[in-house]
A and B are shown apart, each in its own frame.
Chain A
Amino acid sequence: MEAGVVVKVSGPLVVARDLPDPKMYDLVKVGKDRLMGEIIELRGNLASIQVYEETAGLGPGDEVISTGEPLSVELGPGLLTSIYDGVQRPLDVIRAKYGNYVTRGVEEPGLSRERRWAFTPAVKVGDQVGPGDILGTVPETKVITHRVMVPVGVEGKVSEIKEGEFTVEDVVAVVETPKGEVPVTMMQRWPVRRPRLYAEKMTPQEPLVTGQRIVDTFFPISKGGTACVPGPFGSGKTVLQHAIAKWANAQIVVFVGCGERGNEMTDVLLEFPELTDPYSGEPLMLRTVLIANTSNMPVAAREASVYTGITIAEYYRDMGYHVALQADSTSRWAEALREISGRLEEMPGEEGYPAYLGTRLAAFYERAGRVVCLGKDRREGSVSAIGSVSPPGGDLSEPVTQATLRVVKVFWGLEDRLAFARHFPAINWLNSYSLYLDKVEDYWRREVEPAYAELREEAMGILQREAELQEVVRLIGIEALSDQERLIMETAKSLREDFLQQNAFDDADAFTSLRKQYRLLRLIMTYHRLAARELEKGRPVEELIDLPVQEEIARAKFIPEEELERFDRLEEKVAEQLAGRASEVRA
């Protein structure tokens, strides 16, 4: 085979001359170790290549071979429960074969070639099929049925369909098309930088329930929506991302650890097989795909990792599943972009980031959404994308945060001030927002409780009022407040401590269903409404605070999901004690 020749090496950037028929974003192999790389610039007979592996030891004269294909991922049964690096090499297989370190030039397919899967056909010989139609199913894990679809571009009559155990390379069906017979396997390949196709895009409607109270009740995200989690270090971005990966009611979770800590990925790896999915009762790992490109792994592969992740997410969406894609952290991805851009000597935009940072970020988040999938049954699927952002010094005016905020619809602003006070999740309830609120409110009205939205609004108002009052207290002292205002402070404190604060490490508190969130919020607001009524009757606020029942309200978050009727009794108690105190005083 003809080969190009390396002329320049600068960190992860390699320039090669005389590559035969180079195309932008073609995958190439560099040097005698066959390091993976991708063409990112063409000038005359020179091709600039970003190399996904450490380039030490490369030099001018080394050969470069083009594969003629863009960077692609393998899609098929076996993705779930896997852990991949940024270019879909299976890290577990690599460890078994090459030891504890990720060495260079390792080539391992993303899907096992040996493993056999039980394929059950869903079509008969003679059926007319088109792209996206389901040919058959494979029980990929206990909880997820993998739907084997007709690949894009294949349309015709089924001339052969098999049943039984096959590997991903075995032909399971043959489709007779106008251009001839096309054999179909359970595995497809798809270039990561190209969004997978769908029939129709729709606006998101249903909430993606995360079990996190501040998220679900105050700043909800929809299935098919986008959200970002910016925050300085130590404010709990990763803990929140992990909590969502654990408890979200998505059917599939793709978690991309992009340029972050190795130990965090280990944590997920060791914990997810142990944890039970609250919806299926099976280990969480059975619905999870992990992509780990830690901060010390090559920077170009980090750039690719988010695309690898979202392509896998889209693939499951195309089967008709609701998928949550989480990227932690998109700032590290942007930094990888910046590093490569710097090596290309491009004219920098803000803070050295390339001028196309905004468009790349927007294009990435646009791949989320709720869609009607290809295929005759018009099934529906969605990809929700949640990206963390790590702004330097917690400064939200920096380019990555700003470019992200322009495209995402939900903003969960984490603050270190809250984290220092051990208020977790440290989401600031005053500046966070969700643009899906109106859609989600419709859902609440239909599925949970007609009064939910109203209750939320009232609670939010109290929290906002508290912030204003706190200023006054700080300057003049609590005595300056009227009784009504002191009640607001009291309720707001309860909202913060008993509702917003949630311990991700406590088994009973880590997940709260929408129904329980509503009951908990109603309990706190019942106290507030009744106490406010008593105030109107002229009773002093001192009689209405520090009630014994408030301690029970504080513990209400630990009431198990199956005992929600206990909230009824608690609400009665609130009423009794607010009134009861009154009679005591009168007597």
Chain B
Amino acid sequence: MLKEYLTVKEIVGPLILLEGVEGAKYNELVEVEFPDGSVGLGNVLEVEEDLVLLQSFEATSGLNIARTKVRFTGRGLELPVSRDILGRVFDGLGRPIDNGPRIIPDKRLDINGNPINPYARDFPTDFIQTGISAIDGLNPLVRGQKLPIFSGAGLPHSRLAAQIARQAGVLGAEEEFAVVFAAMGITFEEAEFFIQEFRSTAAIERAVLFINLADDPAIERIATPRMALTAAEYLAFDLDMHVLVILIDMTYYCEALREISAARKEVPGRRGYPGYLYTDLATIYERAGRIKEARGSITQIPVLSMPDDDKTHPIPDLTGYITEGQIILSRDLHRRGVYPPIDVLPSLSRLKEKGIGPGKTREDHSPLSNQLFSAYARGKEAKELAVILGEAALSEEDRLFVQFSEAFEDRFIRQGEYEDRSIEETLAIGWDLLRILPRAELKRVKEEHIRKYMDNMG
């Protein structure tokens, strides 16, 4: 029996204060009935004696104090799941919006989940081939990793995320995989791009989509990534699938969080974001991983746009502290027409050492990537020097490094949106590029590898 109250006392932004409530629980799901009869959802942020503070996931326009009804459901926000969620499109609160049949749930899962016991985790070690050289060759993704894309307004992060979703696979493995896609605050066009993308490649059969668009209620976004990850956990650990989760755009999620925090008049941390932003983001990102003896896994690719391309902004900054590396897109490369515009130097994959090498990719993968990194860094440095002092000031060697860095951007980083390079192809391009440099400069690769992989090429 649902308890219903008509005792709204205050409405401030997305917050509703209710009095005279009995038996409300923290984080309980509520139904808010608008004066016009429509019903929205909300949850309990705080209870004190008979006062209850709610956040409404629906925009509060149209609510009033006298006639708004609030019903307490006695449970938290849940997602009904079954195998049938595959291929379906939901709104940000997990309600179907594709005109398909209702989901007949196997079970209902609390969207907040529980933290994975660190002792139960298994370390991610399986290399995922994305077919993108800048990732596979230098900053490889492994199964169970959380690797965000740091982007900026106008950069092609959507295309890159879609390409990863399309091409990602583990070498030599035929296993069930699925993509869970959560859109938070992105535009209709962007969302449509992904839906079309999944449709055209028939990947939609293996995908679950949660869509909260820019004009959907902002507060709903707070639940969206948790909906997606709950679905992912079900697919990965109940149905043994390998799940790739794409969360786009985490910046809008954080802004929704800030809105609630501001409405509650909490003491703000940096740039007005709440002090618990780190903990809150961690409860999302940490839901990636592998579990010992479990066959499935969850790999996360959150996408976030850095306001003003600023990596030290709290959102990318805190994200970088939680995730296992980052792929950073460069406006400079994009301007010069390089796709994907991945700035490989500040990009990083923390799990790379465990995911590559003999038996996984190839023995020369790690040293080759170190060599490419350092040669590219040196080339870029020399190029900067040339800007100040002029080409003529460069030594013969430096000139070669400049030549290398340009060729590297053109042939290694640049590739087609539908070009799926195998890891062998990626490594071969790397070795081929190294021929530009004097052999004595190749200090990070072993002589035997040079003979085996560079000299033997046609």
Known contacts A263-B144, A392-B312; A92 and B119 CB within 8 A of each other: yes
The B-contacting residues of A in range 220-260, CB under 8 angstroms, are: 232-234, 257, 259
Assembled-state Cα–Cα distance A104/B354 (Å): 33
Shortest distance from the beta carbon of A275 to any chain B beta carbon, whole Å: 14
Q: Cβ of B275 and Cβ of A335 under 8 Å apart? A: yes
The 7 closest A-B pairs by CB, nearest first: A393-B312, A295-B282, A56-B27, A296-B286, A101-B114, A233-B320, A59-B25
Contact A296 B278 (CB under 8 A): no
Please determine whether B267 and A296 come into contact, CB atoms closer than 8 angstroms. Answer: no
* Complex interface: chain B residues within 8 A of A297 (CB): 115
Set of chain A residues within 8 Å of B122, measured between Cβ atoms: 266
Q: Check A100 against B287 for contact (C-beta < 8 Å).
A: no
Min CB distance B401 to A, Å, is 14
Which B340-377 residues sit within 8 Å CB-CB of chain A?
A: 345-346, 348, 350-351, 353-354, 370, 373-374, 377
Which residues of B (11-61) have their CB < 8 Å from a CB of A?
23-28, 45-50
Which of A4-12, A129-137, A155-163, A191-199 binds B? A4-12
Decide: A266 and B113 in contact? CB cutoff 8 A: no
The answer on a CB contact under 8 Å between A269 and B270 is no
A58 contacts across to B, CB distance below 8 A: 25-26
CB of B193 closer than 8 Å to a CB of A? no
Min CB distance A266 to B, Å, is 4
A57 and B119 contacting across the interface, CB-CB below 8 Å: no
Chain B residue numbers with a CB within 8 Å of A336 are: 279
CA distance A386 to B264 in the complex (A): 37
Chain A residue nearest to B389 in the complex (CB) = A477
User: How far, in whole Å, are A393 and B314 apart by their CA atoms in the complex?
Assistant: 7
List chain B residues, Cβ under 8 A from A338. Answer: 269, 275
Please measure, in the bound complex, the distance between the C-alpha atom of A554 and the C-alpha atom of B121, giving whole angstroms.
39
**Interface assignment of A362: CB less than 8 Å from any CB of chain B:** no
A234 in contact with B25 (CB, 8 Å): no
* Contacts A83-B118, A393-B312 given; does A60 touch B345 at CB 8 Å: no
A-B contact pairs, 13 of them (CB 8 A): A10-B48, A56-B110, A56-B112, A59-B25, A60-B23, A100-B116, A100-B120, A101-B114, A234-B346, A234-B350, A262-B121, A338-B269, A392-B314
CB-CB under 8 A from B313, the residues of chain A are: 393
Residues of chain B from 274 to 290 with CB closer than 8 A to chain A in the complex: 275-276, 278-279, 282-283, 285-287, 289
Is B177's beta carbon under 8 Å from chain A? no
**Interchain CB contact under 8 A, A57 and B25:** yes
* B65 beta carbon closer than 8 Å to chain A: no
A339 within 8 A of B: yes
Smallest CB gap from B395: residue in A: A478
By the criterion CB–CB under 8 Å, are A263 and B28 in contact? no
CA distance A91 to B289 in the complex (A): 17
Please name all residues of chain B whose beta carbon is closer than 8 Å to the beta carbon of A339 when the two chains form the complex. 275-276, 279
Contact A91/B275 with A58-B26, A234-B325, A393-B317 known, Cβ cut-off 8 Å: no
Q: Kindly list chain A residues whose C-beta atoms are within 8 Å of the C-beta of B318.
A: 392
- Closest A residue by C-beta to B374: A422
Per the 8 Å Cβ criterion, residues 292-307 of A in contact with B are: 292, 294-297, 299
Residues of B within 8 A of A267 (CB): 123, 354
Q: Are B270 and A263 in contact (CB under 8 A)?
A: no
Interchain CA distance A296-B285 in the complex, whole Å: 9
Question: Chain B: which residue is nearest A13 at the CB level?
Answer: B46
Partner of A61, one of B23, B110, B289: B23
Q: Which residues of A contact B114 (CB under 8 A)?
A: 54, 101-104
Is A421 engaged at the interface, CB distance under 8 Å to the other chain? yes
Could you tell me the distance between the alpha carbons of A294 and B314 in the complex, rounded to whole angstroms? 20
Which of the listed residues A56, A395, A420 has the most CB atoms from chain B within 10 Å of its own CB?
A56
Contact B27 A57 (CB under 8 A): yes
Which residues of A (256-288) have their CB < 8 Å from a CB of B? 257, 259, 261-263, 265-267, 269-270
Bound: A232/B285 CA distance, A = 19
Q: A392 is contacted by which of B121, B123, B270 (Cβ under 8 Å)? A: B270
A352 to B122, CA, bound (A): 36
The answer to whether A269 and B25 touch across the interface, beta carbons within 8 angstroms, is no
Cβ of B237: which chain A residues have Cβ within 8 Å of it?
100
CB-based nearest B residue for A271: B123
Chain B residues with Cβ under 8 A from A261's Cβ?
A: 286, 322, 324
Asked whether B46 lies within 8 Å of A91 as measured between CB atoms, the reply is no
CA distance A61 to B122 in the complex (A): 41
The chain A residue with its CB closest to the CB of B266 is A342
Residues on the B chain within 8 Å of A352, using CB: 267-269, 275
Selected contact of A102 from candidates B110, B117, B311, CB within 8 Å: B117
Flag if A294 contacts B23 (CB, 8 Å).
Answer: no
Tell yes or no: B165 within 8 A of A by CB: no
Q: Is the CB of A420 within 8 A of B117?
A: no
Q: Are A60 and B24 in contact (CB under 8 A)?
A: yes
Q: Which of A336, A352, A394 has the most CB of B within 10 A?
A: A352
Q: Which residues of B contact A11 (CB under 8 A)?
A: 26, 46, 276
Q: CB-defined interface of B377-420 with A at 8 Å, one 1/0 digit per residue?
A: 10000000100110001000000000000000000000000000
For B282, list chain A residues within 8 Å (CB). 259, 294-296
When A351-B270, A352-B275, A420-B345 are in contact, do A100 and B324 touch as well, CB less than 8 Å?
Answer: no
Most buried by A among B45, B114, B283: B114
- Is the beta-carbon distance between B117 and A342 smaller than 8 angstroms? no
* From A257, A295, A342, residue with most partner B Cβ within 10 Å: A295
Q: A8-B47, A296-B286, A296-B287 are in contact. Are A95 and B120 (CB under 8 A)?
A: yes
A269 touches B26 (CB 8 A): no
On whether A270 and B123 interact (CB within 8 A), knowing A58-B25, A261-B286, A335-B279, the answer reads yes
